[in-house]
Amino acid sequence: MNVPSETASINGAALTATGISYAVGMAQLLEAVSLEVRHGMLLGLIGPNGAGKSTLLKCISQILAPTAGQVCLDGKDLQRQSPREIARHIALLPQSTTLNFAFACLDVVLMGRNPHLGRFQAEGARDRAIAQQSLQDTETEEFVTRLITEVSAGERQRVLLARAITQQPRLLLLDEPTAGLDVQHQLQVFMLIRRLVREGLTAIAVVHDLNLAARFCDRLVLLNRGVVHAHGLVGDVLTAENLARVFKVQAVVEEDPNLGVPRVTVLAPLDTE
Amino acid sequence: MLRRMLDVEVPLALRLALALGMLSLLLFLSFVVTMAIGAVDVPLHVTASIVLQQMGIPLGAAASDVHWSIISHVRLPRVLTAALVGAALAVAGATMQGIFRNPLADPGIIGVSAGGALGAVIAIHFGLRALHYLATPALAFIGALGAVMAVYALAATRGVDPLTTMILAGVAVQAFIGSITSAVLTLTANVNAMREIVFWLTGSLGARSWTHVQLILPFIVVGSLLLLFFARDLNVMALGEDAARSMGVDVRRVRLIMLALAALITAVAVAVSGIIGFVGLVVPHMVRLVVGPDHRIVLPASLLTGALLLTWADFGSRMLLRPQELRVGLITAFFGAPFFLYLLYRHKRQGTVL
């Protein structure tokens, strides 16, 4: 009788979203989307432009209030919690960040401590230590005093990731974390996320690059027009048939001989009806 | 040296104490110097002791009755009005730039100045001052807040991006109100009223009494202090609405409260001083140049720098063409605009946004 309870504590669902719908005016952006992410897992959200991936991340973090459905983190309903309470458990790295103020990178990373600080409380030694650790993890400690407006796009994305980690979330939501990064930094970012997930963090990432998704995600959810088209293990979701139906491309999926994961080669766009 | 003292790696409390301590000292010295000089010169140590005594600190030399009354009844209320108005405009400007995430924002962007101008012009045109000597500031205040509410109401209707909508609504409301103001101005036949209107539109701090100080002090002090509550939220909001939400900031609520407070203190300032441009736009930039972009320092430092700047601008308006008095709004625009261009040029050369 001990075995089931033990497996439950390791594999128990960290996040469950049930029947999430979201509409703006007449446009139904999400319709009855349900998903589940377990502790220490990286879930990849894939789908064509406009499928509702970013909207889903915002609904999960309650930045947008879903028109229907329920989101629970470790069994607790998020709709009943204040933005501050949610922010202590869930961090989000949005898709694009425009910054008009020349904050030092360290200042930006320290902002991640915001939900943990009282109104007039300044960041203390512990907060600085946490920020320092995130800077190390993202290999950005060398530009602590540099301005966020003056570092390159790739460096900036890593600093912003460091900021999200500094929030010390249990669930990390990433909206195209490697958009605009070169191949080396793409790999670095995903390897870092992978390491954090191994250490117990749970993460959901919107990923456009199907091969990155195949290589780094534990499971995938394929969204199409606000509806879950397929979900499950990488190999079950990334099939030529699914890609043809959802992405409208003719593709070959085979095992990559070097990595041992599915590799997607897109051959041609299919005529859309 | 100063820059290093204000570096990110120095604890916030120390940076804050250093910046605010220096500015407070400068402000006090500026008060004393600008009040000592005028049609009648009062020795500096006498001026200082009168100011200290007014602050409840019985220190320094005894003053003659003439000096006492010039300083405490004429120059002190005027300088305090200047400082309060400058503080209000600057902190409101810093707030607007933070909320709109736009370094070109200014309290005028949401229609405060235009509305205040219309209120004042109506009061002067219809000679309402004969009814009560505070009719002009009262109507200016009502006009300023009315315009802001109109802008907000227009923008709050299910817009895609409420901030962009608000800037556009601000432009429209300003143009609309401006046309009414011009119409009233055209209909003003009385030359004296006309003169008064033009004077009001360029801002003035002449002949401000303790009544003015008492009227604006509570609003500006309380409003500014409340704004400081939200300084860290403003930092987080610099990363964008979604990011700020995900860091626990209730963006919509904070934005509404801060806009209301900034509009209120600007309306109060406009009511007693008329339209004084460039302070709200330029001061936050000057401050950020030295202390960096952290709003926990930028907001209080803007408050003091705005006070400092308008104290000297008012002094300039009294002294430059003595015995003629220039409008203080002319001084701030004359020096503010080139300074702003210098900032633009500097940033362009560094290849960064403001």
B:295-354 residues touching chain A, CB 8 A cutoff: 296, 352-354
Does one domain contain both A177 and A260?
A: yes
Minimum Cα–Cα distance from B13: chain A residue: A122
Does one domain contain both A112 and A34?
A: no
Q: Sorting pLDDT into bands at 50, 70 and 90, what band is A3?
A: very low
Does one domain contain both A187 and A256?
A: yes
Q: With a cut of 90, say whether residue A190 has pLDDT above it.
A: yes
pTM comes to 0.88
| The dihedral sign for the CA sequence B89, B90, B91, B96 | positive
Least confident segment among B90-104, B152-166, B291-305: B152-166
Does one domain contain both A115 and A73?
A: no
> Cα separation of B172 and B24, whole Å?
39
Find the CB nearest A99 among B238, B242, B288. Answer: B238
Q: Give me the mean pLDDT over the B204-230 stretch.
A: 90
Residue B43 has a CB neighbour count (10 Å cut-off) of 12
Does one domain contain both A134 and A64?
A: no
Q: How far is A114 from chain B (nearest CA, A)?
A: 6
Q: How far is B225 from chain A (nearest CA, A)?
A: 12
In degrees, to the nearest 5, what angle opens at C-alpha B100 toward C-alphas A26 and B94?
Answer: 160
Q: How far is A90 from chain B (nearest CA, A)?
A: 7
Q: Give me the mean pLDDT over the A9-25 stretch.
A: 77
State pLDDT tens for residues A117-156.
988 888 888 999 999 999 998 888 888 888 888 888 888 8
- Are B108 and B280 in contact by the 8 Å Cβ rule? The answer is yes
- B352:A117 CB<8 A: no
Instruction: Please state, rounded to an integer, the average pLDDT across all residues of chain B.
Output: 87
Q: Which of A86, A111, A117 to mutate to test the interface with B (most CBs of B within 10 A)?
A: A111
Least confident segment among A51-60, A66-75, B32-41: B32-41
Q: Give me the mean pLDDT over the A90-109 stretch.
A: 88
Q: What percent of chain A has pLDDT over 70?
A: 95
> Cα separation of B159 and B167, whole Å?
12
- Are B78 and B206 in contact by the 8 Å Cβ rule? The answer is yes
Q: Sorting pLDDT into bands at 50, 70 and 90, what band is B156?
A: confident
Whole-number pLDDT of residue B258: 93
Which distant-in-sequence residues (6+ apart) come within 8 Å of A175 by Cβ? A53, A54, A57, A92, A93, A94, A95, A205, A206
State pLDDT tens for residues B242-290.
999 999 999 988 988 998 899 899 989 988 888 898 899 999 998 998 8
Whole-number pLDDT of residue A194: 93
Q: Which of A63, A100, A166 to mutate to test the interface with B (most CBs of B within 10 A)?
A: A100
Whole-number pLDDT of residue B3: 54
- Write out chain B residues lying below 8 Å of A94, CB-based: 240, 242-243, 246
Does one domain contain both A148 and A178?
A: no
Is residue A173 in a domain? yes
- Are B295 and B98 in contact by the 8 Å Cβ rule? The answer is yes
Does one domain contain both A174 and A74?
A: yes
3-state DSSP of A225-252: CCEEEEEEEHHHHCCHHHHHHHHCEEEE
Number of continuous H segments (helices) and E segments (strands) in chain B: 16, 0
Q: With a cut of 90, say whether residue B309 has pLDDT above it.
A: yes
> Cα separation of A98 and A84, whole Å?
23
DSSP 8-state secondary structure symbol assigned to residue A104: B
Residue A25 has a CB neighbour count (10 Å cut-off) of 6
Residue B211 has a CB neighbour count (10 Å cut-off) of 13
Q: Sorting pLDDT into bands at 50, 70 and 90, what band is A179?
A: confident
Would you call B151 helix, strand, or coil by DSSP? helix
A75's enclosing H/E stretch is none
A230 forms bridges with which residues in the sheet?
A: A222
- B352:A149 CB<8 A: yes
Q: Which residue has the higher pLDDT, A118 or B312?
A: B312
Query: How many Å is the Cα radius of gyration of chain A?
Result: 19
State pLDDT tens for residues B26-48.
999 999 999 989 888 888 888 88
- A114:B247 CB<8 A: yes
Is residue A94 in a domain? no
Whole-number pLDDT of residue B7: 63
Q: With a cut of 70, say whether residue B207 has pLDDT above it.
A: yes
Whole-number pLDDT of residue A131: 93
Whole-number pLDDT of residue B5: 57
* Final residue belonging to a domain, choices A144, A167, A190: A167
Is residue A242 in a domain? yes
Q: With a cut of 70, say whether residue B353 has pLDDT above it.
A: no
Q: With a cut of 80, say whether residue A15 has pLDDT above it.
A: yes
- A86:B7 CB<8 A: no
Q: Are strands A42-46 and A202-206 parallel, antiparallel or unpaired?
A: parallel
Q: Where are the domains of chain B?
A: 23-350
> Cα separation of B113 and B334, whole Å?
18
- Answer whether B209 touches A (CB < 8 Å): no
According to CATH, what is the number of the domain B23-350?
1.10.3470.10
- B288:A102 CB<8 A: yes
Q: Sorting pLDDT into bands at 50, 70 and 90, what band is B25?
A: very high
Instruction: Please state, rounded to an integer, the average pLDDT across all residues of chain A.
Output: 89
DSSP 8-state secondary structure symbol assigned to residue A22: E
Q: With a cut of 90, say whether residue A22 has pLDDT above it.
A: yes
Q: With a cut of 80, say whether residue B295 has pLDDT above it.
A: yes
Whole-number pLDDT of residue A13: 54
List residues in chain A touching B: CB distance below 8 A.
Answer: 58, 61, 63, 82-88, 90-94, 97-104, 106-108, 111-112, 114-115, 117, 119, 122-123, 144-145, 147, 149-150, 160, 163, 167, 173
Whole-number pLDDT of residue A63: 92
> What's A59's domain CATH number?
3.40.50.300
- Could you give the count of Cα atoms lying within 13 Å of A181 in the half-sphere of its Cβ? 25
Which distant-in-sequence residues (6+ apart) come within 8 Å of A149 by Cβ? A99, A100, A101, A102, A103, B352, B353
Highest mean pLDDT among A9-13, B151-155, B178-182: B178-182
Would you call B308 helix, strand, or coil by DSSP? helix
Which distant-in-sequence residues (6+ apart) come within 8 Å of B285 by Cβ? B103, B340, B343, B354
Q: Sorting pLDDT into bands at 50, 70 and 90, what band is A29?
A: very high
Q: What percent of chain A has pLDDT over 90?
A: 66
Is residue A97 in a domain? no
Q: How far is B228 from chain A (nearest CA, A)?
A: 9
In degrees, to the nearest 5, what angle opens at C-alpha A139 toward C-alphas A135 and A141?
Answer: 50
- Are B247 and A90 in contact by the 8 Å Cβ rule? The answer is no
- Are B76 and B69 in contact by the 8 Å Cβ rule? The answer is no
Q: Which residue has the higher pLDDT, A219 or B55?
A: A219
Q: How far is B293 from chain A (nearest CA, A)?
A: 6
Does one domain contain both A177 and A259?
A: yes
- Answer whether B248 touches A (CB < 8 Å): yes
Structure ipTM: 0.87
Instruction: Using alpha carbons, list the distances in angstroms from residue A187 to A142, A213, B49, B70.
Output: 20, 11, 68, 73
Whole-number pLDDT of residue A150: 86
- Answer whether B238 touches A (CB < 8 Å): yes
Q: Sorting pLDDT into bands at 50, 70 and 90, what band is A75?
A: confident
Whole-number pLDDT of residue B161: 62
**Location of structure tokens 């974390």:** A177
Whole-number pLDDT of residue B2: 53
Whole-number pLDDT of residue B274: 85
- Answer whether B103 touches A (CB < 8 Å): yes
Closest CA to A91 of A81, A80, A83: A83
Within chain A, residue ranges assigned H as helices are 2-11, 53-60, 83-87, 105-110, 125-137, 153-166, 183-198, 210-216, 234-237, 240-242
Does one domain contain both A74 and A163?
A: no
**Can you give the residue range of the structural domain that contains A77?**
2-89+169-269
What is the count of structural domains for chain A? 2
Minimum Cα–Cα distance from B354: chain A residue: A100
DSSP 8-state secondary structure symbol assigned to residue A272: P
- State which amino acid sits at residue B256: L
What phi, psi does A222 have (nearest 5°)? -100, 115
State pLDDT tens for residues A205-263.
999 999 999 999 999 999 999 999 999 999 999 999 999 999 999 999 999 999 989 99
Which distant-in-sequence residues (6+ apart) come within 8 Å of B299 by Cβ? B91, B94, B95, B224, B227, B228, B231, B234
Does one domain contain both A83 and A206?
A: yes
- Are B169 and B157 in contact by the 8 Å Cβ rule? The answer is no
> Cα separation of A236 and A190, whole Å?
21
Residue A203 has a CB neighbour count (10 Å cut-off) of 25
- Are B275 and B113 in contact by the 8 Å Cβ rule? The answer is yes
Q: Give me the mean pLDDT over the B304-312 stretch.
A: 96
Q: Sorting pLDDT into bands at 50, 70 and 90, what band is A4?
A: very low
- Answer whether B160 touches A (CB < 8 Å): no
Does one domain contain both A159 and A184?
A: no
Q: With a cut of 90, say whether residue A23 has pLDDT above it.
A: yes
DSSP result, A124-143: -HHHHHHHHHHHHHTT-GGG
Whole-number pLDDT of residue B82: 94
- A102:B293 CB<8 A: yes
Does one domain contain both A116 and A248?
A: no
